[in-house]
Amino acid sequence: MADIIEKFKDIRKYKSYTQKELADGTGVSEIAIYTWESKMRQPTLSNFNKVLNKMGFELHIRPIETVPFYGDNKHLMG
Protein backbone atom coordinates (compact mmCIF):
# COMPACT_ATOMS: atom_id res chain seq x y z
CA MET A 1 0.00 0.00 0.00
CA ALA A 2 2.93 2.35 0.62
CA ASP A 3 3.74 2.57 -3.10
CA ILE A 4 0.14 3.51 -3.91
CA ILE A 5 0.16 6.19 -1.21
CA GLU A 6 3.41 7.64 -2.57
CA LYS A 7 1.89 7.78 -6.05
CA PHE A 8 -1.24 9.38 -4.57
CA LYS A 9 0.86 12.03 -2.84
CA ASP A 10 2.80 12.71 -6.06
CA ILE A 11 -0.45 13.16 -8.00
CA ARG A 12 -1.87 15.45 -5.32
CA LYS A 13 1.19 17.67 -5.44
CA TYR A 14 1.36 17.60 -9.26
CA LYS A 15 -2.27 18.71 -9.42
CA SER A 16 -1.46 21.42 -6.84
CA TYR A 17 -3.98 20.29 -4.23
CA THR A 18 -3.33 20.89 -0.56
CA GLN A 19 -4.58 18.18 1.77
CA LYS A 20 -7.36 20.56 2.86
CA GLU A 21 -8.42 21.38 -0.71
CA LEU A 22 -8.53 17.71 -1.58
CA ALA A 23 -10.59 16.89 1.50
CA ASP A 24 -13.16 19.65 0.91
CA GLY A 25 -16.37 18.26 -0.54
CA THR A 26 -15.29 14.61 -0.48
CA GLY A 27 -16.47 13.62 2.99
CA VAL A 28 -12.88 12.68 3.83
CA SER A 29 -11.12 14.76 6.47
CA GLU A 30 -7.87 16.63 5.96
CA ILE A 31 -6.51 14.71 8.97
CA ALA A 32 -7.33 11.40 7.26
CA ILE A 33 -5.36 12.39 4.16
CA TYR A 34 -2.48 13.52 6.38
CA THR A 35 -2.43 10.17 8.22
CA TRP A 36 -2.40 8.26 4.91
CA GLU A 37 0.48 10.27 3.53
CA SER A 38 2.46 10.04 6.76
CA LYS A 39 1.87 6.25 6.79
CA MET A 40 0.13 6.36 10.18
CA ARG A 41 -3.08 4.83 8.77
CA GLN A 42 -4.29 3.19 5.60
CA PRO A 43 -7.34 4.52 3.75
CA THR A 44 -10.50 2.55 3.20
CA LEU A 45 -11.05 1.85 -0.49
CA SER A 46 -14.20 3.95 -0.42
CA ASN A 47 -12.48 7.03 1.02
CA PHE A 48 -9.43 6.57 -1.17
CA ASN A 49 -11.63 6.48 -4.27
CA LYS A 50 -13.46 9.65 -3.16
CA VAL A 51 -10.30 11.73 -3.14
CA LEU A 52 -8.90 10.02 -6.24
CA ASN A 53 -12.12 10.87 -8.08
CA LYS A 54 -11.73 14.53 -7.16
CA MET A 55 -8.30 14.45 -8.85
CA GLY A 56 -9.71 12.69 -11.92
CA PHE A 57 -8.62 9.13 -11.07
CA GLU A 58 -10.26 5.98 -9.76
CA LEU A 59 -9.01 2.75 -8.30
CA HIS A 60 -10.20 -0.56 -9.72
CA ILE A 61 -9.64 -3.96 -8.19
CA ARG A 62 -9.97 -6.94 -10.45
CA PRO A 63 -8.82 -10.54 -10.25
CA ILE A 64 -5.63 -11.59 -11.93
CA GLU A 65 -6.73 -13.74 -14.85
CA THR A 66 -4.21 -16.48 -14.10
CA VAL A 67 -5.54 -17.14 -10.58
CA PRO A 68 -8.02 -20.04 -10.62
CA PHE A 69 -11.18 -19.81 -8.53
CA TYR A 70 -12.68 -22.97 -7.08
CA GLY A 71 -15.94 -23.97 -5.48
CA ASP A 72 -17.81 -21.28 -3.59
CA ASN A 73 -15.33 -18.58 -4.62
CA LYS A 74 -16.73 -18.31 -8.16
CA HIS A 75 -18.92 -15.40 -7.01
CA LEU A 76 -15.75 -13.32 -6.63
CA MET A 77 -15.31 -13.22 -10.41
CA GLY A 78 -18.17 -10.75 -10.64
For residue 71, CA distances in Å to 5, 56, 58, 74, 76 come to 34, 38, 31, 6, 11
Q: What percent of the chain is helix, strand and coil (3-state, nearest 5)?
A: 55, 0, 45
- At 45-68, the pLDDT tens digits run 999 999 999 999 988 888 877 656
Domain that holds residue 24: 1-78
Which pLDDT value is given to residue 60? 83
> How long is the chain?
78
Verdict on whether the full-model pTM lies above 0.85: no
Q: Is the dihedral of CA 65, 70, 73, 74 positive or negative?
A: positive
Residue 14 maps to which CATH number? 1.10.260.40
What does the longest C-alpha to C-alpha distance in the chain come to? 48
How many structural domains does the chain have?
A: 1
